[in-house]
Amino acid sequence: MTYFARFDPGLVLWLCSRVGTSVDDPRVARLVDFIKDQQGPYGLWTYASQPQVSRWVSYDLLNSLQSMPQTGDWVSLEPPTPFKPEPYGKPRRRQ
């Protein structure tokens, strides 16, 4: 989990919990598993460069995980989008 990043899994989890997506969707289940794997030994998510943020990030993630429905009427008709990471800083060459 990152603090004011472009892509924040915690923000996506918060959005999923607010919209009402359930853990039945495999994409949401993978996101929840990833976030739970990042949890530290004392139940907090740590942010090394700014340790004072760790409590608020942990509170927000726990709140989002608690409000996430386990089952629901969410219907996902969109196919998974293929993801290919591209390195930052290198512009694409024209062809």
Name the residue ranges covered by the structural domains of the chain.
Answer: 9-67
pLDDT for position 88: 66
Low-confidence ranges of the chain (pLDDT < 50): none
Q: What pLDDT does residue 3 have?
A: 55
Taking the model in full, what pTM does it have?
A: 0.72
Q: Torsions phi, psi of 21, nearest 5?
A: -70, 145
pLDDT recorded at residue 21:
86
The CA–CA distances, whole Å, from 44 to 38, 40, 49, 53, 63 equal 9, 5, 15, 11, 13
Quote the DSSP letter at residue 51: G
